[in-house]
Structure 1
Amino acid sequence: MAEAYLGLVTRLILSRARVLGADHLVDIQVSGGSIRRIVPAAHGDAAVLGRAAGAGAAAPEVVDLDGRWVMPGLWDAHTHMEQWALVRRRLDVAPATSAEHAVRLVEDALDARAAEGGGVGEPLVGFGLHWVTWPEPPTAEMLDAVGDVPVVLLSFDLHSAWVNTAGLRRLGIEHPTGLLLEDEMLPAEQLDHPSGTTLDRLVHSAAQAAAARGVVGVVDFGMDDNVGAWRRRVPSWDGLRVRAGVWYWDLDAALAEGLRTGDPLSGPDGRAPAGELTGRPLVEMGSLKVISDGSLNSRTACCFDPYEGSDGPDAHGVLNVPPEDLHLLMKRATDAGLTCAIHAIGDRANSLALDAFEATGARGSIEHAQLVRWSDVERFAAGRVTASVQPEHAMDDRDVAEGLWPDRTDRAFPLATLAAAGVPLALGSDAPVARLDPWFAIASAVTRSRGGREPWHPEQVLTVEQALAASTAGHGVAPGEGGPADLVVLDGDVPGLGSHADYLVQPADPSDVSEALRTMPVAGTVLGGEWTHRVL
């Protein structure tokens, strides 16, 4: 692979590519981890392309895309990579419609494990409970029907866990019901964590699966010494770009080391990150992460108005971090050069987070922004606070929201309103709460529909271009000269691409559009000029 443009080796030419904004096919020349030139297509003639790359040069790798779309590579702006890696091997209890149904799923899994001759007496961890919709909340006694095997069933939003008596005993927890909420459930989530080496292998496998869907980068909010875990992986990491967040309980260590957002993270022995070969380090320091309130499905998201049918001190949800503590944490982070990522789901939590951004001068994002007062939309825009949102959650939560927030769902996931006000948007999955696949987030943002259902508050849809632009970490919807050679090659057409009208005014069924986006075939993914996925 070969020679030079501006003194750099042209390693790769993506020939006869289709890019947004060009009325003809183009050739994209890549070297040094960047896009060096985008020129009219030379019709796939390797000799012509070689001469274009530099006289006397050895021929670069030329890949004829035959008119396939090329876009900036996709990012997932909110993940928990270790959790996502683990969920891929945990028992799926999402189908459970009652406590009895969940118990049957656990019994079946234990029977299957016994039949295979493995794991007898070892803890069983499941994931995906939607217990808030059940006729009655689950208890440890109900789950004790499976026997004396420690069992932990995590809710799909990772804000609660249902644990049997044996599981509580294994965790060293005394609890009156076995339904653990918010901070009290954190030890339960750790029950089946493997060793560092095994966990790193699982994370790398998850990254490879993400690359196959066009992903080139993730923002990771792993909870257990996230910065240290990524430093351990750095020397051999080649899967994705990673911005590694730091939780407030690890903030002192990050500040003592002088880490700033955007700093490259080196390996434990100081070795340079592997990503320097692709133009810039793959693993960088991210933001301070603070969870200010709970979640809708646990009735702990902090709201101005009470939940439907609720009364008492927690009828409005809960604050995990008092406002004065949130201000202090954000001020310390900001003064040290860290951006802030503040989890806020309820409208009161969002308003308090915006207060903290204004008071401290912090930069960064509100993660989720699920329920927002109309008067706070302009505050998002004025402070340039990014709304880091997960549109697939709207599809997961629509029925629960209608039951618990029946008078305010017009303000739930108000993506179009935020975009129209000029609020920066970043789409993500919150994996494992939703699957790490940006096409699912894009589909939900564009259609507000899934599984053939009518769109939910369709006035809040994004256009396809808005959703794509919110999924590329600021790199827009078309590759540009000088930009990073982080690209996705599609094997199909994107519905509505190139049209600035939303899909609802086009002759397309929302269900068809949703399905087309969710199943978008990806022909290749390029990270810093190197293929991480390729079926061409």
Structure 2
Amino acid sequence: MTRLLLRGGRTLVDGRIVEADVVVDGATLAHVGSPGSGSADVVVELSGALVLPAFVDGHVHATDTGLVLTGLDLSAARSRDDVLDAVAARTRALRGRPVLGHGWDETAWPDRTLPTAAELDRATYGSLVYLSRVDVHSALVSGALLATAPAAARADGYDADGWVRREAHHVVRAVALGSVTASQRAEAQRHMLRTAAARGIAHVHEMNGPGIGGEDDLRTLLEVAADPALPDVVAYWGQTAADGGLDALRDLGAHGLGGDLFVDGALGSRTAHLRSPYADADTRGALYLDADAVADHLVRCSVAGVQAGFHVIGDAAMDVVADGLVAAAAVAGRDRVRALHHRLEHAEMLDARHVSVLADLEVVASVQPAFDAAWGGPSGMYVDRLGPERGVRLNPYADLAAAGVALVLGSDAPVTPLDPWGTVRAAVRHRTPGKGLPLADAFRAHTAAAHRAVGEAPEDGLRAGGPATFAVWRADPGDDGWPDLDSPPPTCVRTVLRGTILHDSGDLEEVAA
């Protein structure tokens, strides 16, 4: 087996960036340390490149992300006409096939008027059109799609003008995604995983469920991810234990029964559940599970030895989850609940009690700092939806970390891009002063902490005897050798998983030793 020496670079050892050589022997790191002390068959000249543990994206939707990467991305749209023009162009390319798009965000438009179902029909000559909002908790759909999904008209959240939310959104989404063939789905998933690898990501946590992708979608993804040349996938299944979730988890090979198991919705779609109404609409959002259901799910999973979890965003929804956690600990036992490190996805609107409950019961907070970068601050979408007092108090990462809550960072792709250094930067440069993380802590939350959240226990850096899983970066050095967050983002030149190269830009020179 060929031994590989990565020479002339820097790496993370004992929490510090230092000059070091790295020797790869198969799937294992044989040496990480002083330059000149490792032997190998082939030498890779790093020329100052940075070798770090590969990233873990703690929250993704593989199929949706792949479909956006290979299809209609509406994130650059700034008006109704932009959306209609993009949809019309896509329709011509697809020649009558369904049009699936994602990423529009009307809060970034000067004129927030949305396309109607009738306008989408005219732009696409009557095609089926499904355009998910950036948060994927609502969508714009054509009249043709509404006609194909008549149950949507009887569901909560239906709008004949085409902006569907809550249960109506779930109905039309199932019909729209049903138009994706098995081969298209697999290719989208493969494309997403290759893209992740090219961005220094070697592991992803997939959030799937009955109303998201479905069983066939998850089975296909896990089959695709069995390819050793692609990143690892750890799957979460969003179904309650009371509804047969434990059987589904075992059948599918999922790790946890949670992820996007929705307690509420999203702020952008005004479906996150709030204590007080939204500032820009007379609604408090939607609640999908009450405290009894949350507690029941946690108890059943705890007794079964399965990590549970929920999607939760609004403050009233966090009240429900906190109450459910406390009740579950009283029934199943505090130690049993703590041992499984149940996790919450997003957990954006937290108060001191919520943070205390999470810390006491050792709950993992799986968070997405790019949300704050996109929607935080005094003039962002959060303030639009919640007003200036509530809108600047979201995502208190520093408070969570200070209380001892384990943080895992992710993208929620396709909601925000697969961009791990952008995520780290957003966690450090929080839009609310005092709520961000130190750079080293943010990096740890995007690497080692994410492994620990699924029951693994890696080191915070690279070490001899550990797995040969790392990424090599070209980056301008900043404080203490970490990438300078004010410079252009680091460029990934190689990603390696257990000794297998997942991505190689061709930038590294290899010579015989």
**Short-chain TM bin:** 0.7 to 0.9
In structure 2, the partner of 1:366 is: 344
Q: Which moved more, 1:30-39 or 1:294-303?
A: 30-39
Confirm or deny: 8 A CA contact 1:132 1:298 kept in the other structure. no
Whichever residue aligns with residue 93 of structure 1, its letter is L
In structure 2, the partner of 1:216 is: 202
2:72 pairs, out of 91, 97, 117, with 91
Q: Structure 1's 236 and 214: CA in aligned 2 closer, same or farther, altered over 3 A?
A: closer
1:337 pairs, out of 275, 291, 305, with 305
Q: 1:342-357 to 2 correspondence within 5 Å?
A: 342-357=310-325
In structure 1, the partner of 2:50 is: 69
1:528 pairs, out of 476, 498, 501, with 498
In the alignment, the residues of structure 2 paired with residue 187 and residue 88 of structure 1 have an alpha-carbon distance, to the nearest angstrom, of: 24
Question: 1:492-522 CA distances to partner (integer Å, 9 max, x unpaired)?
Answer: 23533458xxx9xxxxxxxx83553xx2111
**Percent identity between the two aligned chains:** 29
Q: Which moved more, 1:477-486 or 1:243-252?
A: 243-252
Larger Rg: 1
- Three-state SS of the structure 2 residue aligned to 1:292 is coil
In the alignment, the residues of structure 2 paired with residue 26 and residue 316 of structure 1 have an alpha-carbon distance, to the nearest angstrom, of: 54
Q: Tell me the CA shift for residue 377 of structure 1.
A: 1.8
Question: 1:9-49 CA distances to partner (integer Å, 9 max, x unpaired)?
Answer: xx33323331235685322233352333323111xxxxx74
Say whether residues 1:124 and 2:99 are aligned partners. yes
In structure 1, the partner of 2:383 is: 402
In the alignment, the residues of structure 2 paired with residue 87 and residue 521 of structure 1 have an alpha-carbon distance, to the nearest angstrom, of: 22
In the alignment, the residues of structure 1 paired with residue 299 and residue 236 of structure 2 have an alpha-carbon distance, to the nearest angstrom, of: 17
Q: Tell me the CA shift for residue 419 of structure 1.
A: 1.7
Q: List runs of 5+ in structure 1 lacking aligned partners.
A: 3-10, 43-47, 51-58, 114-118, 266-283, 449-455, 504-511
- Three-state SS of the structure 1 residue aligned to 2:370 is helix
Q: Tell me the CA shift for residue 136 of structure 1.
A: 4.6
Confirm or deny: 8 A CA contact 2:264 2:314 kept in the other structure. yes
In structure 1, the partner of 2:219 is: 228
- Three-state SS of the structure 1 residue aligned to 2:7 is strand
Q: Structure 1's 381 and 163: CA in aligned 2 closer, same or farther, altered over 3 A?
A: same
TM-score normalized with structure 2 length: 0.82
Question: 1:120-145 CA distances to partner (integer Å, 9 max, x unpaired)?
Answer: 33221221122366545654234333
In the alignment, the residues of structure 2 paired with residue 403 and residue 384 of structure 1 have an alpha-carbon distance, to the nearest angstrom, of: 33
TM-score normalized with structure 1 length: 0.79
- Three-state SS of the structure 1 residue aligned to 2:479 is coil
In the alignment, the residues of structure 1 paired with residue 59 and residue 429 of structure 2 have an alpha-carbon distance, to the nearest angstrom, of: 21
In structure 2, the partner of 1:244 is: 235
Q: Structure 1's 531 and 255: CA in aligned 2 closer, same or farther, altered over 3 A?
A: same
- Three-state SS of the structure 2 residue aligned to 1:259 is helix
Whichever residue aligns with residue 440 of structure 1, its letter is G
- Three-state SS of the structure 2 residue aligned to 1:513 is coil
Question: 1:431-475 CA distances to partner (integer Å, 9 max, x unpaired)?
Answer: 000111211211211223xxxxxxx21322222111111110334
In the alignment, the residues of structure 1 paired with residue 72 and residue 496 of structure 2 have an alpha-carbon distance, to the nearest angstrom, of: 33
In the alignment, the residues of structure 2 paired with residue 317 and residue 403 of structure 1 have an alpha-carbon distance, to the nearest angstrom, of: 15
Q: 1:256-295 to 2 correspondence within 5 Å?
A: 256=247, 259=250, 265=253, 285-289=255-259, 290-295=261-266
- Three-state SS of the structure 2 residue aligned to 1:485 is coil
In the alignment, the residues of structure 2 paired with residue 12 and residue 103 of structure 1 have an alpha-carbon distance, to the nearest angstrom, of: 52
1:411 pairs, out of 371, 377, 393, with 393
| Higher relative contact order structure (alpha carbons within 8 Å, sequence separation ≥ 6) | 2
Q: Tell me the CA shift for residue 106 of structure 1.
A: 2.2
Confirm or deny: 8 A CA contact 2:70 2:188 kept in the other structure. no
1:184 pairs, out of 149, 161, 168, with 168
Q: Tell me the CA shift for residue 105 of structure 1.
A: 3.1
In the alignment, the residues of structure 2 paired with residue 95 and residue 234 of structure 1 have an alpha-carbon distance, to the nearest angstrom, of: 30
In structure 1, the partner of 2:439 is: 464
Q: Structure 1's 85 and 386: CA in aligned 2 closer, same or farther, altered over 3 A?
A: same
Confirm or deny: 8 A CA contact 1:72 1:487 kept in the other structure. yes
In structure 2, the partner of 1:513 is: 485
Whichever residue aligns with residue 31 of structure 2, its letter is R
Q: Structure 1's 514 and 326: CA in aligned 2 closer, same or farther, altered over 3 A?
A: farther
In structure 2, the partner of 1:140 is: 117
In the alignment, the residues of structure 1 paired with residue 70 and residue 493 of structure 2 have an alpha-carbon distance, to the nearest angstrom, of: 26
Question: 1:231-255 CA distances to partner (integer Å, 9 max, x unpaired)?
Answer: 4335535301111111206986663
- Three-state SS of the structure 2 residue aligned to 1:238 is coil
In structure 1, the partner of 2:27 is: 33
Q: Tell me the CA shift for residue 309 of structure 1.
A: 4.1
In the alignment, the residues of structure 2 paired with residue 444 and residue 485 of structure 1 have an alpha-carbon distance, to the nearest angstrom, of: 28
Whichever residue aligns with residue 488 of structure 1, its letter is A
In the alignment, the residues of structure 2 paired with residue 67 and residue 108 of structure 1 have an alpha-carbon distance, to the nearest angstrom, of: 45
Confirm or deny: 8 A CA contact 1:69 1:493 kept in the other structure. no
Q: Structure 1's 107 and 220: CA in aligned 2 closer, same or farther, altered over 3 A?
A: same
**Matched residue count:** 465
1:436 pairs, out of 418, 428, 432, with 418
2:6 pairs, out of 14, 38, 43, with 14
In the alignment, the residues of structure 1 paired with residue 360 and residue 291 of structure 2 have an alpha-carbon distance, to the nearest angstrom, of: 21
In structure 2, the partner of 1:481 is: 464
- Three-state SS of the structure 2 residue aligned to 1:305 is coil
Question: 1:204-255 CA distances to partner (integer Å, 9 max, x unpaired)?
Answer: 2221111111111000013311552344335535301111111206986663
Confirm or deny: 8 A CA contact 2:385 2:391 kept in the other structure. no
Whichever residue aligns with residue 404 of structure 1, its letter is R
Confirm or deny: 8 A CA contact 1:469 1:476 kept in the other structure. no
Confirm or deny: 8 A CA contact 1:287 1:364 kept in the other structure. no
Confirm or deny: 8 A CA contact 1:96 1:102 kept in the other structure. yes
Question: 1:272-330 CA distances to partner (integer Å, 9 max, x unpaired)?
Answer: xxxxxxxxxxxx7344331110100011111222211433xxx2211112222222222
Q: Structure 1's 23 and 152: CA in aligned 2 closer, same or farther, altered over 3 A?
A: closer
In the alignment, the residues of structure 2 paired with residue 20 and residue 232 of structure 1 have an alpha-carbon distance, to the nearest angstrom, of: 33
Say whether residues 1:80 and 2:61 are aligned partners. yes
Q: Tell me the CA shift for residue 393 of structure 1.
A: 0.9
Q: CA RMSD in A?
A: 2.8
Q: Structure 1's 321 and 485: CA in aligned 2 closer, same or farther, altered over 3 A?
A: same
